[in-house]
Amino acid sequence: MSTPVPWLNLDCAPFPTLDAIKAQLGITGTDQDVAITNTLSATVAKIESYLGRGIYGRQRTQRVEPIDTRDGKLFLYLFPITEVTSITVDGSPIGAGWRVFGDQGIVELRNGCCWHGPRGCCAHDSIIEISFTGGYPGDCWPPALLDAVLSTFYRRWNASAGDIANEVATGAVKSWSADGLAVTMGDVSAGLGSISSDTIPPDLIPVAAQLDPYRLRFVRGV
């Protein structure tokens, strides 16, 4: 029987510090700190846009409404959810009456007007705001997702020489496939499951298979 390597955690990896990223790039001094931070932020934002969800850990206030007013499930953009700090309905805070499905990014409201009945039961659709902390914290990222983020960042940095505004896509990729994901580089479109019109940005093509498990999916019955 094999013995686990004590320092190897396949479920959790820390996001590297700025100093660690600079060491990887062979950069000393602080002149390029802002450029590195901006390029990394732009990379994460682009990946989040492609995924259809937030992944980088932060606090957020989101205005939401139930997808189905019969069960009161609210789908948050940023997940996994670490903590829900407050929920207001039409500006009034509610102190209890919800439960959180953190990994799925869902908050379920358990009582109140229109939360378990037809939409016509209220004079108007309630305005619901949720303040919460979500996304992966700095000390615990899924290794495959972190690898996809960092490898994309390093490619973008090297291609743009640190100038993200002047970055251009390179290469003449015609087709690519992995783990059931097929890409044809005519219109840079991809087929993912039953979705045939998805577009993969050119610089995310090398990591598309790694990102696919983290794409937004609405799963009911949780």
Q: How many domains is the chain built from? A: 2
Please determine, for residue 15, whether its predicted confidence score (pLDDT) is greater than 90. Answer: yes
Residue at which a domain ends, from 134, 161, 189: 134
Same domain, 37 and 104: no
Please determine, for residue 155, whether its predicted confidence score (pLDDT) is greater than 80. Answer: yes
Q: How many residues does the chain have?
A: 222
**The pLDDT of residue 123:** 60
80: preceding bond cis by omega (within 30 degrees): yes
Same domain, 124 and 65: yes
Quick check: is 6 in a domain?
A: no
Are β-strands 98-101 and 106-109 bridged in parallel, bridged antiparallel, or unpaired?
Answer: antiparallel
The first and second tokens of residue 65, run together, are 């409404």
Same domain, 145 and 126: no
Quick check: is 13 in a domain?
A: no
Distances from the Cα of 156 to the Cα of 45, 177, 190, angstroms: 13, 22, 21
Please determine, for residue 96, whether its predicted confidence score (pLDDT) is greater than 90. Answer: no
Same domain, 92 and 145: no
Residue at which a domain ends, from 134, 159, 188: 134
Residue 82 to residue 179: CA distance in whole angstroms: 30
Confidence class for position 177, pLDDT limits 50, 70, 90: very low
What are the pLDDT digits (tens) for 46-69?
999 999 999 999 999 999 866 555
Residue at which a domain ends, from 134, 153, 175: 134
The first and second tokens of residue 139, run together, are 């000390």
Same domain, 192 and 208: yes
pTM for the predicted model, two decimal places? 0.74
Q: At what angle do helices 33-51 and 18-25 cross, to 10 degrees?
A: 100
2-16, 147-161, 186-200: which range is least confident on average?
A: 186-200
> Could you tell me the residue range of the domain that residue 31 belongs to?
18-54+139-214
Quick check: is 222 in a domain?
A: no
The first and second tokens of residue 38, run together, are 């901006």
Residue from 135, 139, 138 nearest 214 by CA: 135
β-bridge mates for residue 198, sequence order: 190
**The pLDDT of residue 197:** 39
Please determine, for residue 173, whether its predicted confidence score (pLDDT) is greater than 60. Answer: no
Please determine, for residue 199, whether its predicted confidence score (pLDDT) is greater than 90. Answer: no
Residue written as token pair 């980088």: 56
20-24, 32-36, 90-94, 169-173: which range is least confident on average?
A: 169-173
Q: Which residues fall within 8 angstroms of residue 49, CB to CB, at 6 or more apart?
A: none
Residue 55 to residue 51: CA distance in whole angstroms: 9
